[in-house]
Structure 1
Amino acid sequence: MRVLSFTTLYPNAVQPRHGVFVEERLRHLAASGEVELTVVAPVPWFPSRHPRFGRYARFAEVPREETRHGLRVLHPRYPVLPKVGMNAAPGLLAAALWPSLQRLERARGPFDLIDAHYFYPDGVAAVWLGQRLGKPVVVTSRGTDVNWIPRYRAPRAQLRWAARRAAGLISVSAALGEHLRALGVSRERITVLRNGVDLDTFRPLSEAGAALRHKLGLSAPVLLSVGSLIERKGHHLSIEALRGLPGATLLIAGEGPLRPQLERQAEVAGVADRVRFLGPVAHADLPRYYSAADVFVLASSREGMPNVVLEALACGVPVAACNAEGVSELLAEPVAGRIVPRREAESLRETVSALLAELPPHEAVRAYALRFGWDETSAGQLALFRTVMEKSAA
C-alpha cells in the first residue's frame, strides 16, 4: 500500500520532541514492510530565523525535507492567522497543501490513501484534500482534537463534516471514541487502536538509573513527571503535593512558558531544593530518567492515550495519574499503579504516598507493560487500510 501520512504533529530537526507519539506509530507501521509511507508534516510559515522572534523563528529553521528513521518527511509551510486562526485553520492548511500534494503525486506517482493524525485542523484538511484528489482518508483522533476543540461551534461543525466523509476513523482510546460518538459518529465506524511503546528502547535500566541518581545526588523516593510546562499538564499540582511528601524529590522533564511560575511556586512552597527542572530531555535519554524514578506522576487534566505512562511502565516504574481520558485503560491492574480520584494536590499526595508504601517490583511492572507493544496496533491499522481501499475500489 502506498500511504501518505498527513499531520502537523510530527518531530523535526528543530523540534525533536514535537508529536513523537505520531512518529512512533508511523515508524512501527512502516516496519511491517506492508506500506510505502511518505510523511507530510506541515509547519507554520514564518519569514525570519532571527533569534529575536523566539519560538516563531524556529519554524523558519525547520528543513523543507528530511529523513527520520528511514522515512521521507516533507515539511511544507502553511499560514497561521492569530486570533481568527482557529476557525480558519483547516481551510488555510488545505489550501496551502493542495499544490504540494499535487506535485508530490506527479513526482512519485499516485498513493492509495491519506492517513491523517489529529482531527482538527489536520483531519478536516485531509478530508477536503482527499475529496479533491479522489483518495480515501483515515483520520486518527488523539485527545484535545475531540475532547476540547468541539466545545467551539465552528470547529465542531467542521469536525462533524469531516467525520461524515472520512473513510475510516481511529481513536487511540475507548474514552476518546465516546467523544467521536458525541459528534454523531456511530460506534461501528470507530476503530480503537491504542498507542504502543517501543519495548526495546524503553526497558528497565537499573545500573543507568542508579548512576543518574548518584550524579544528581538523589536519594529515595524519587518522583518523575514528563511533559510540557503548561497548565493542563498539572505540574503545579505535583509541586504542591510534594509539600506533604517529606524527603521526596520531584524531577520535571520538559520545557514551556510556565517554568518561571512553577519555579516561584516551588520557592514559596518551601520545596525548591526538592524540585529539579531538567528542561527538555531527548527521547532516547528518557529510559535512564524513568529507571531513576520510584514513581511516575501524571497530573494532566486531559490526555488521549499518554505515551509517557506506557514508557514509564515499560521501564518498570509504577504510575500515579489523574484519570484523564485513556489513563484508566492503561492502569487497569494494581501492579501498574493507581488512579488519583480527584485532580487536586491533596488527593495526588495521598495516592503517591500509598503507592510508595507498597511499590510493586520493577519486574512485575515491566511484565504488565509487555502487552502494550506496537504489533497489535500496526496490524489493526493495516487491516483498516485494506478494508478502506477495498470499499474505495468497489
Structure 2
Amino acid sequence: MRVLSLVTSDTSSFYKNQVRLLRASGVELTTITPKNPSEGETRRLGDYLRLYPQMLRQSFGSYDLIHANYGLMGPLALSQPNLPVVLSLWGSDLMGKYGTVSKLCARRSDAVVVMSDEMASVLGQDCEVIPHGVDLDLFVPKPQSIAQGTVGWSSDEYHVMFPYNPQRPVKDFPRAERIVDSVNQRFDRPVNLHAVTGVPHEDIPTYMNAADALLVTSKREGSPNTIKEALACNLPIVSTDVGDVSERLSGVTPSAVSQSDETIVDALEKVLEAGQRSNGRGAVEDLSAESATGQLRSVFESVLSY
C-alpha cells in the first residue's frame, strides 16, 4: 500500500510515531507539509496553495490513497481527481473556527477518522473513532526522586506540569497561572508551575515522572495525548472537562475533571495533599500506538476495497 500523507506539521510526536509504525507495517508513505512560518508569523492561504502542484503531480503516480491529517488539509486533498481521501480530524480543526471547513471536507471524503465520541457527535456523520495511541514503552512510571534529580526540580517543593506552549490561546496558560497562584496560598510548601514545551518528546516522560500533577486548562480538545501519556506514567491529572478527558479519567485516582476555577483549585489542592501516584496506567493499556495504527491501516484497507 502506498499512501500520500498531507499534514499541517510533520514535527508533532504522535504524527512521527504514526508514520514510523505505518512504515513498519509495510505501508510506503510520503509526507507533504507546508513550509514552517517564520517566528511570530502564522501560515497563510498561499502556503497551502503552493503545495497543490506537488500534490497533484504525485496523485498521478502510483499512490493508492491520500491521508489528509487535520481539517485544513482537506480542501487540498479533495482538489485532486485521482485518489480516494481519508480525512483525520484532530480536535481543534473540528471544534474551533475552521469547523465548517472540516465538516464540508468530511462529507466529501471516502472515510473520516476522529479521536473521540464527542468529536463524532459534533461531526454528525459516519466516521471511525480512533484516539491517538500512546507509546507505552516510552511512557512508563519511574521513581519520582530520580526524575526530579534529572530535571533539576527540588524535592522540597510541589511541581505542577503544564504540557503545552503558553503562547497557544486555546490552552489558556493564564488560567493555569491563576489556579496555581491560588493553590500556592494554601500551602507552606511552594507550588511551582512548569510549562514544559520545546523539549524532545523522549524527555517528556522524565518530566511527567518528576511532577506531582498535570494541569490542563484547555478551552477545547479532541482526545489529548498528553492526558494519555500522563496516565501511562501514573501522574495525577487535574483538567477542564474537554474532549474525552472525563472518559479517560473515569476511575482514576487521584485525579479530577472540573470546570470552574474554584473547583479546579480545590481539586489540585487535594491531589497535591494526597502525595501519591495515580492508578492511571491501567486505564490506557488498550491505547497503545501500535493498536491505533493498526486500526488506521484497517480504515485505509476498507477504502481501497470499495
Query: TM-score w.r.t. structure 2 length?
Result: 0.88
Alignment of structure 1 residues 311-326 onto 2, 5 Å? 311-326=229-244
Report what 1:137 is aligned to. 85
**What letter matches 1:351 in structure 2?**
A
Quick one: structure 1 residues 98 and 249, their matched pair in 2 at CA, closer, same or farther if it must change by over 3 Å? closer
Provide the residue aligned with 1:124 in structure 2: 75
State the distance in 1 between where 2:47 and 2:53 align.
11
Deviation readout 1:343-380 (Å, 9 max, x if unpaired):
42x22211111223335545x33333322212321221
Deviates more, 1:286-295 or 1:330-339: 330-339
Secondary structure, counterpart of 1:164 in structure 2: helix
| Higher RCO, Cα 8 Å, sep 6+ | 2
2:252/2:280 contact within 8 Å kept: no
Q: In the comparison of the two structures, how many residue pairs are matched?
A: 299
| Shift, 1:163, TM fit | 1.9
Q: Which moved more, 1:347-356 or 1:238-247?
A: 238-247
Task: State yes or no: 1:302 paired with 2:220.
Answer: yes
Match of 1:253 among 196, 210, 219: 196
- Of the candidates 66, 69, 72, which is equivalent to residue 114 of structure 1? 66
CA positional deviation for 1:297 = 0.8
Displacement, 1:104?
Answer: 3.7
Distance 1:28 1:360, change over 3 A: farther
1:335 aligns with 2:226: no
* 2:173 aligned residue: 235
Any unmatched runs of 5+ in structure 2? Answer: none
| Alignment partner, residue 284 of structure 2 | 369
Taking structure 1 as reference, are residues 6 and 351 closer, same or farther at Cα in structure 2, changes over 3 Å only? Answer: same
Which residue does 1:30 correspond to in 2?
23
More helix by share: 1
Q: CA RMSD in A?
A: 2.4
Distance 1:239 1:339, change over 3 A: same
Q: Deviations over 1:318-348 (max 9, x none)?
A: 21110112212321223372101x242x222
- Pairing of 1:151-166 with structure 2 (within 5 A): 156=100, 158-166=101-109
* C-alpha contact 1:299 1:343 (8 A) present in aligned 2: no
TM-score for the superposition, normalised by structure 1: 0.70
Among all aligned residue pairs of Structure 1 and Structure 2, give the percentage whose two residues are the same amino acid. Answer: 25
Q: Is the 8 A contact 1:94 1:126 kept in 2?
A: no
* 1:39 and 2:31 aligned: yes
Residue type of the partner of 2:252? P
SS at match of 2:282: helix
Q: Structure 1: where are the runs of 5+ without partners?
A: 12-18, 47-52, 60-79, 82-88, 255-279
Superposed, 1:1-394 pairs within 5 Å as 1-11=1-11, 19-31=12-24, 33-43=25-35, 54-56=39-41, 81=44, 89=45, 92=46, 95-104=49-58, 109-119=61-71, 121-129=72-80, 132=81, 134-150=82-98, 156=100, 158-181=101-124, 185=125, 189-206=126-143, 208-212=146-150, 215-229=152-166, 230-245=168-183, 246=187, 247=189, 248-254=191-197, 280-335=198-253, 337-340=255-258, 342-344=259-261, 346-361=262-277, 364-391=279-306
Q: Tell me how far apart the structure 2 counterparts of residues 94 and 238 of structure 1 sit (CA, whole Å).
A: 34
Q: Structure 1 CA distance, aligned partners of 2:239 and 2:85?
A: 34
With over 3 angstroms needed to count, the CA separation of the structure-2 counterparts of 1:319 and 1:381, relative to structure 1, is: same
Contact 2:252/2:283 (8 A) holds in 1: no
- Whose Rg is larger? 1
1:177–1:190 Cα contact (<8 Å) kept: yes
For 1:117, the aligned partner's letter is N
Distance in 2, Cα, partners of 1:234 & 1:94: 28
